[in-house]
Amino acid sequence: MALTLTSREPAIVYGAPPRVDLLPPAEKDRRSLAQLKRRWVLAVLAVLGAAALVVLAALALRFQASLSVGAAEDHRAELQSDLAQYSDVSGLVSERDALVGKRAQAMAADMSWTKPYRLLAPALPNGARLTGFSAASGGEASADPADLGLKAVVTVSSGRAIDQAIVLDAFAQVEHVADVDMLGLEQAEGVYTYRIYVAFDQGIYNKRFQTGAATQEDGQ
């Protein structure tokens, strides 16, 4: 079976208006240029509108930031005013700290003068007793309790002669004793009197008024 291709001519429509482009080229160019100008104007207006929105947003952010800064300044002024009300308290606290420091400096070498007697008396041999005690502080307290703190001359009396080496060794074993030495021996009316040099370390000082202890005590 064979197929035959035939070409169809456009149908003629009777009674339709004729389609004839009668505009001159100059008018076409003018209309095209006008349309192009309108597009450019719309584009420029769109860009200007976007720029205006950006500027307005920036101004709004700046205004909000200025409000935040103003609020922070007001809060700071309020805090400074509140702190000013407690300036007297701060001054009193500073004055108290200064007084505590001065007290610690003045009383750091304070001690109970009965403590050396109570430490040495049990070390004496039978029949001997402490009959004299003179001492001088070794100076301000230091950070090392092993530093020399008290220098004393002890008078020991006995109705019989005692071994000096035994007494010196017994005193050397006493707590806080740093050094001992025999200074002299006297005998009168059957009584033997020994003068002994005894040095104590700073552990014998009263720690109550030293800086660390004073601060802890005041905090309690």
Q: Quote the pTM value.
A: 0.46
Residue 39: pLDDT over 70: yes
Residue 33: pLDDT over 80: yes
**Better-predicted residue by pLDDT, 184 or 99:** 184
pLDDT attached to residue 216: 42
Token output for 189: 């009316």
* Residue 18 banded pLDDT, cuts 50, 70, 90: low
pLDDT attached to residue 153: 92
Instruction: In whole angstroms, give the CA distance from residue 106 to residue 210.
Output: 9
Token output for 35: 């349309």
Residue 184: pLDDT over 80: yes
Q: How many residues does the chain have?
A: 220
Q: Given CA atoms 23, 28, 34, 39 in this order, what sign does their dihedral have?
A: positive
